[in-house]
Amino acid sequence: MSANTDQTRLGLATIALVRGQNNILVDVGHFGRRQMLQEALASHHLSLADIQIVVLTHAHWDHAQNVDMFPNARFFIHKAELDYARAPRKGDLATPRYFANTLQGLKVQEVVEGTELEPGVRIVEIPGHTRGTIGVAVDTPEGTAVIASDACPDAGTVSRGRPYLVFWNETEARESVRKIMGIGNIIYPGHDRPFRINRDGTTRYLPGVTTLKVTVGFEEHDMGTGVTIGLESIRQPWNHPEA
């Protein structure tokens, strides 16, 4: 899903809550979602201080800006992603140059494939979209769910065979899509609703919210400002020139 205006990209990225022995948050969103994030946790009777583990799937601005909100959390990130974030490729505007600095003073732990956050919850390496993209596999009564972030940003990734944006390496990105499909019965993508992969390879969205509310307010109602709502053209796959 992509929702933008001619003034800004809205950056509607998935933030997932896993509740088991710990309160685990997978990604934290960008600055524009701070209040919504706090309200969403409150709807589950949680405060910011109740989050014990934060998994940062990758360093992009729309997934990882709000790290300062969780005073009691340990932060998990892949070493390759943290190393890359210290010196991103030229033209990679999605990785803020200051990202590594935002983790200073926090309890940060580097993770690898299979790192267990708690029984039934583990890290999966799914690079390609970025150098060190990770996801989280969660065992559930209905099968294994994979919180796949931007390694699988939408349901269309399954038929496309790749995420629509590749900042690191297209071959690795395609391998990661196949890996996700081999692990997960249920996929939580980075920018779309959760879905199942059927036996014939098609996808089926899980029940849930299917609307996006847009509100615009002006101090003066007669100021002559118009608001246009329209459908965005289908996003074409893009690779960083060095990918």
What CATH number should be reported for the domain holding residue 25?
3.60.15.10
Q: Supply the pLDDT for residue 134.
A: 99
In a domain, residue 5? The reply is: no
Q: Supply the pLDDT for residue 157.
A: 97
In a domain, residue 9? The reply is: no
Q: Supply the pLDDT for residue 11.
A: 61
In a domain, residue 4? The reply is: no
Q: Supply the pLDDT for residue 149.
A: 98
Q: What is this structure's pTM?
A: 0.91
CA distance 178 to 168: 17
**Could you tell me the residue range of the domain that residue 61 belongs to?**
16-239
In a domain, residue 168? The reply is: yes
Name, in order, each residue with C-beta under 8 angstroms of 153's C-beta and a sequence gap of 6 or more. Answer: 129, 163, 164, 165, 189, 190, 191, 192
List per-residue pLDDT tens for the chain, 243 residues long.
566 666 666 668 999 999 999 999 999 999 999 999 999 999 999 999 999 999 999 999 999 999 999 999 999 999 999 999 999 999 999 999 999 999 999 999 999 999 999 999 999 999 999 999 999 999 999 999 999 999 999 999 999 999 999 999 999 999 999 999 999 999 999 999 999 999 888 999 999 887 777 777 666 666 556 666 666 666 788 899 998
In a domain, residue 11? The reply is: no
Domain count for the chain: 1
Q: Supply the pLDDT for residue 225.
A: 63
In a domain, residue 127? The reply is: yes
Q: Is 100 left (phi over 0), alpha (psi -120 to 50) or beta?
A: alpha
CA distance 117 to 138: 10
Q: Supply the pLDDT for residue 215.
A: 72
Beta strands 121-125 and 116-118, pairing class: antiparallel
